[in-house]
Amino acid sequence: MNEKVRQLKGKLIVSCQALPEEPLHSSFIMGRMALAAKEGGAGGIRANTVEDIAQIQRTVDLPVIGIIKREIPGCSVYITPTMEEVDRLMEMKPEIIAMDATEDLRPGGVTIDEFYREVRRKYPDQLLMADCSTEAEAVHADRLGFDFIGTTLTGYTKQSRDIKIEAEDFLLLRRILRTVRHPVIAEGNINTPKKARRVVELGAFSVVVGSMITRPQVITKAFVQAMEEEKEVSVL
The domain over range 3-235 is classified in CATH as 3.90.1300.10: no
> pLDDT by residue (tens digit) across 5-32?
999 999 999 999 999 999 999 999 999 9
Three-state secondary structure readout of 164-227: CCCHHHHHHHHHHHHHCCCCEEEECCCCCHHHHHHHHHHCCCEEEECHHHHCHHHHHHHHHHHH
Look at residue 233 and tell me whether its pLDDT is greater than 80. Answer: no
- pLDDT tens-digit map of 195-211: 999 999 999 999 999 99
The pTM score is 0.94
**Domain boundaries of the chain, sorted by first residue:** 3-235
Measured CA angle at 149 (ends 59, 136), to 5 deg: 150
Residue 171's pLDDT is: 95
Q: pLDDT by residue (tens digit) across 159-168?
A: 999 998 888 8
pLDDT at residue 229 in the model: 81
Would you call 110 helix, strand, or coil by DSSP? Answer: strand
Task: Give the residue, 54 or 166, on which the prediction is more confident.
Answer: 54
